[in-house]
Amino acid sequence: MNQENPQGTETTHFGYKEVPVEEKQQLVGQVFDSVAEKYDIMNDVMSMGVHRLWKRFFVQTCQIRPDDQVLDLAGGTGDIAALIYPQLDERGQIVLSDINPNMLAVGRRRLIDRGMVRNLAFVEANAEQLPFEDNRFDLVTIAFGLRNVTRQDRALAEMLRVLKPGGKARILEFSRVQSPLLAKAYDAYSFGFLPAMGQLVAKDAESYRYLAESIRKHPDQETLAAMMREAGFSGVRYQNLNAGIVAIHTGYKA
């Protein structure tokens, strides 16, 4: 949550640091500029490949129809778009959006190399201020991206705005581990192993330390569900995966 410091400047968290709100977007951008080319490799290393199962389950449970208009926010290197694309026919479309041009370029190159061209668009955009008209999409997805958004309440409101009535938003994100014993092991792994592997594989320990810290600062399951309701979503629910290491949140536009 954003807050004001004694000098009256609005601040927010960047990992465990408090920074002026207007600086966070640039700082997050620097992180993803640094890790863009190694992002998928590091995801495999960090999760021992489990992130691919989480993403596959996330897409499989979206109940995508062949003619759906889909917006994938913070789509980065294209993992979610690649899973959604085969489920659409010539009437459907997926828009892959990311605020970071380097991440978006990696995603574009990988999807085009796989022959995914038809009815696929790439848009550089801030999730807090989307360049799409109201009631445009049947489905909006965001996977492992919401925690990096500065004003998450604005992003949720924008997701609702661009959805058609009856459309749904799906959020896959790291969340609060439900088992105290697992939480201790997870902390040791996150703050010891991840930065070390970030240095070894991507030559950047600090970016991966930030990513671990950003997970801890992200709202827990109930808090995010409440934020979605506050934004105007109906039928909000969530499902924990792997004891709450990640959770899938779903909300609908009435």
pLDDT for residue 9 is more than 80:
no
Strand partners, 10: 4
Query: Does residue 184 fall inside a structural domain?
Result: no
- Residue 72's pLDDT band, with cuts at 50, 70 and 90, is very high
pLDDT for residue 161 is more than 60:
yes
- Give the burial string for 224-239 (b: 16+ CB within 10 Å, else e): bbebbeebebeebebe
Query: Does residue 155 fall inside a structural domain?
Result: yes
Query: Does residue 157 fall inside a structural domain?
Result: yes
Query: Does residue 79 fall inside a structural domain?
Result: yes
Phi, psi at residue 36, to the nearest 5°? Answer: -50, -50
- Residue 199's pLDDT band, with cuts at 50, 70 and 90, is confident
**Reduced to 3 states, what is the DSSP secondary structure of residue 71?**
strand
- Residue 254's pLDDT band, with cuts at 50, 70 and 90, is very high
Query: Does residue 190 fall inside a structural domain?
Result: no
> How far, in Å, CA of 242 to CA of 208, rounded?
21
Query: Does residue 68 fall inside a structural domain?
Result: yes
Q: What are the DSSP calls for 110-149, one per residue?
A: HHHHTT--TTEEEEE-BTTB--S-TT-EEEEEEES-GGG-
- Residue 210's pLDDT band, with cuts at 50, 70 and 90, is confident
- Residue 26's pLDDT band, with cuts at 50, 70 and 90, is confident
Residue 76 near residue 103, CB atoms below 8 Å: yes
Query: Does residue 25 fall inside a structural domain?
Result: no
Give the closest residue to 39 by CA, choosing from 27, 51, 24, 23. 51
- Beta-carbon contacts of 180 under 8 Å, excluding residues fewer than 6 positions away, are none
Which residue range forms the structural domain that includes residue 137?
32-177+211-252
> How far, in Å, CA of 130 to CA of 97, rounded?
9
Mean pLDDT of all residues in 76-99? 95
3-state helix, strand, coil in the chain (%, to 5): 50, 25, 25
Predicted TM-score (pTM) of the model is: 0.86
Q: What percent of the chain has pLDDT over 70?
A: 85
Mean pLDDT of all residues in 238-253? 96
**Reduced to 3 states, what is the DSSP secondary structure of residue 226?**
helix
- Residue 182's pLDDT band, with cuts at 50, 70 and 90, is confident
State the helix-helix crossing angle for 21-35 and 205-217, rounded to 10 degrees: 130
Q: What percent of the chain has pLDDT over 90?
A: 60
The CATH number covering residue 40 comes to: 3.40.50.150
Give the tokens for residue 3. 């807050």
pLDDT for residue 3 is more than 60:
no
Looking at the structure of the chain, the number of domains it has is 1
Query: Does residue 248 fall inside a structural domain?
Result: yes
